[in-house]
Chain A
Amino acid sequence: MTSEIVSAPARTQAFLKTLYGVTDGERIQRCLQCGMCSGACPYGYLMEFPPSRLITSMRAEEIERVLEADTVWLCLSCYACTQVCPQKIPLTAALMTRTKEELLLAGKVPTELHAALENSQRYGNVLGQSPRKRADWVKEAGAPVRVLGKENPRTEVLWYVGDYVSYHPRLQAVGRAVAKVLNALGVDFAVLGADEVSDGDSQRLAGERGLFELLAEKNGKALGRVQFQRIVTTDPHAYNAFKNEYPALGIAYPVQHLTQFLAEHLEQLRPHLTREVKAKVAFHDPCFLGRANAVYEEPRAILAAIPGVELVEMAHSRETSLCCGGGGGGMWLDGFHWEKAHARTSEWRVQEASAAGADILAVACPYEPLRFEDAVKVVPGAGNIVVRDVAELIAESLTA
């Protein structure tokens, strides 16, 4: 499409048209140029074309200039801009993602990001690990985890595990905690095993629409082969994909983030939470649970149920939560971000946790323990902060 168009105005028009294809995309025409989006954006000050300026360029029919710049890759798809826009323009989903898509189609992707995308395509996970080993972690889960198969295709809860919990040692600990908690609650749950592939949502937001559809198709087929009542996941990106993106592809199932599921079962859970976790706990609202899907209270409710926990709020919280830096491809663009910014949002966030007096930074997304634990090592005064997924804290509080 874009390769046939030569003049900038014509190309801009073509680009705009594709934006209107996104739900509510035509609201872009109502932009007030108030600049709130660029102001709220964590890297807005560094982008050559933060959201408001991107729109200005389109109005000036100068989309070429935008497509020559590479600072859109600083966008973390954190929804801060979308959140504050008075005209409710779907800035993240339409504008920033579509710009990345255009760049990606033109082959202009930071080299650092290639591997994650190629790995997703080749191995079904961003980490480039063997797909055959996706469910190996189950053997060391410490508590029973049933893997669905031809002989046993039925379960009440389908636990969608995700790439990081399946393969990364730090996140496998979260997997073990979830297994412990679900067993303690007597939940009938199971996992897809090696048939599961990456949900693809971050890859989608990094501009790889085709890859997202490829992965969704595979997950759709795997889910179609088994029977379950609902999907539960610890990954807000997967939650977002199943809830908001997969249905348009014909893959529609009820889905909950683990914190929603546990909040729903809080009264059954509460009697099991007997061990004290005496600490000041700051809950970090993940972008895709909070801003993108308006889930703020459930994680707090279950944390508050843990004896000894004192919830503290950081300076940015709920709708204003500061992204850990992993979204929109950020998880695989750390070098690129560092070179441009010499600052990491994860380090700002850990500073906030420290300022709030937190002992524990509680998280609910697989990117976060990695990003925040790295930040804890370098932020002065934050060395004492421990990063734990909500599931890990619940597991810690369970009667043995």
Chain B
Amino acid sequence: MSQDIFVVVEHLRGEVAEITYVMLGMGRTLAEGTGGKVVAVLLGQNATGLASDLSADQALYVEHPSLAEFTPDAYSAALAAVIADAKPRAVLLGSTSIGSDVASVLSARLKLPMISSCRTAGRDGTLQCQICGGKIMAEARLPDSTALVTVIPGGHPADAGRSTQPAAVTAFAPPELSQLRVSLKQYIEPEAGDVDIAKEPVLVSIGRGIQTGDNVELAEELAKALGGVVCGSRPVVDQGWLPASRLVGKSGKRVKPKLYLAVGVSGAPEHMEAVTDSQLILAINTDAAAPIFGLAKYGTTLDLFDLVPALTSAIQQAKAA
């Protein structure tokens, strides 16, 4: 067994997923403790370009037509071969539609211990994992044998996993990939159209407190000044003040912006559960007891009709300066 930390690169349709960079950052921390290398494991076809901004000491590339798109069977077989050959200290996979499909299969197939939902890793090999809806943390330690770890975002910044210097790419011969039981038939695109609020870094969210459709404009001006978009809670969409694509909540979209500025939103649970991944939540609500203040980092009870125009001005001025 080596002391290397392997990171399985997640990519879909030519784009490397953010979780990969998070894992590379985590891998670097672990590798600093084990003394090994960080190795990115890339599976695909004509995909070496995807390794160009990965922060790793080495990239192992497995090329095969059956790996061109993700299917669990092919990925499991290829990764099993890589792991059996290299025997790294740990293999990091995303706790995602890609990583989760193969991690447990590999654990059972190769009889390797695994732990999931790891948020933070320490140089000393400790792992902090998040379960029970975030209410409980479990601490574990990397064993002295090869282990599999699935990773969730939030503990290591993605930037730590990016590099302008591409890692050296080494080819790894794929195993036999013929008896595959899962085949991709087609992709189905999401409906095109309006802005995807789930991808926006700055969101100005409005609730019933905005009172009428005409006042939505106030929020739009603020959003524009910040370079963001407007979204809303259920009553706002019900009233037709915003289209359904802007609904944030249990029946709408889950968002993860850098900034979530809640204007006149009370913070009903069905809404708030879709907002918890936001990095910074600020709330404007005249009701000091509004539940949103239990989730927001900062808040104010000033009247939104006074504050929002003034804030918009202040932001425009600060940006012009």
Task: List residues of chain A with CB under 8 Å of any chain B CB.
Answer: 169, 335, 338-339, 374, 377-378, 380, 383
Contacts and interface: CB of A to CB of B under 8 A. Distances in A.
Given A335-B238, A380-B212, 16 more contacts: A169-B289, A169-B291, A335-B234, A335-B251, A338-B238, A339-B238, A374-B208, A374-B235, A377-B209, A377-B211, A378-B208, A378-B211, A378-B212, A378-B235, A378-B239, A383-B211
19 contacts: A169-B289, A169-B291, A335-B234, A335-B238, A335-B251, A338-B238, A339-B238, A374-B208, A374-B235, A377-B208, A377-B209, A377-B211, A378-B208, A378-B211, A378-B212, A378-B235, A378-B239, A380-B212, A383-B211
B316 to A, nearest CB: 29
Interface string B286-299: 00010100000000
B219 to A, nearest CB: 15
Interface residues of B, number: 11
Interface in B35-78: none
Contacts of A169: 289, 291
Nearest to B234: A335
A169 B291 CA distance: 9
Contacts of B239: 378
Interface in B230-254: 234-235, 238-239, 251
Contacts of A338: 238
B87 to A, nearest CB: 48
A312 B35 CA distance: 81
A82 to B, nearest CB: 30
Nearest to B207: A377
Contacts of B234: 335
Nearest to A344: B238
Nearest to B239: A378
A377 B215 CA distance: 13
Among all A-B residue pairs, the 4 with the closest Cβ atoms:
A338-B238, A377-B208, A377-B211, A169-B289
A380 B212 CA distance: 8
A169 B209 CA distance: 18
Contacts of A335: 234, 238, 251
A377 B212 CA distance: 9
Contacts of B235: 374, 378
Contacts of B291: 169
Nearest to A374: B208
B265 to A, nearest CB: 12
Nearest to B235: A374
Nearest to B290: A169
A338 B251 CA distance: 15
Interface string B15-47: 000000000000000000000000000000000
B232 to A, nearest CB: 14
A145 B147 CA distance: 56
Nearest to B210: A377
Of B234, B238, B289, B291, chain A has the most CB atoms within 10 Å of the CB of: B238
A221 B280 CA distance: 49
A383 B211 CA distance: 9
A380 B289 CA distance: 25
A374 B251 CA distance: 20
A169 B251 CA distance: 24
A250 to B, nearest CB: 37
A380 B239 CA distance: 14
B115 to A, nearest CB: 30
A383 B210 CA distance: 12
Nearest to A339: B238
B284 to A, nearest CB: 15
Nearest to A383: B211
A374 B209 CA distance: 9
B288 to A, nearest CB: 11
A380 B208 CA distance: 13
B240 to A, nearest CB: 8
A392 to B, nearest CB: 15
A49 B198 CA distance: 41
Nearest to B269: A128
Contacts of A374: 208, 235
A374 B211 CA distance: 10
B210 to A, nearest CB: 9
Nearest to A373: B208
A380 B234 CA distance: 20
Contacts of B209: 377
A125 to B, nearest CB: 14
Contacts of A377: 208-209, 211
Contacts of A380: 212
A377 B239 CA distance: 12
Nearest to B250: A115
A169 B269 CA distance: 13
A335 B234 CA distance: 9
A360 to B, nearest CB: 18
A377 to B, nearest CB: 5
Nearest to B291: A169
A97 to B, nearest CB: 27
Interface in B250-309: 251, 289, 291
B287 to A, nearest CB: 10
Contacts of B238: 335, 338-339
A383 B215 CA distance: 15
A280 to B, nearest CB: 23
A298 B113 CA distance: 71
Nearest to B213: A378
A272 B8 CA distance: 74
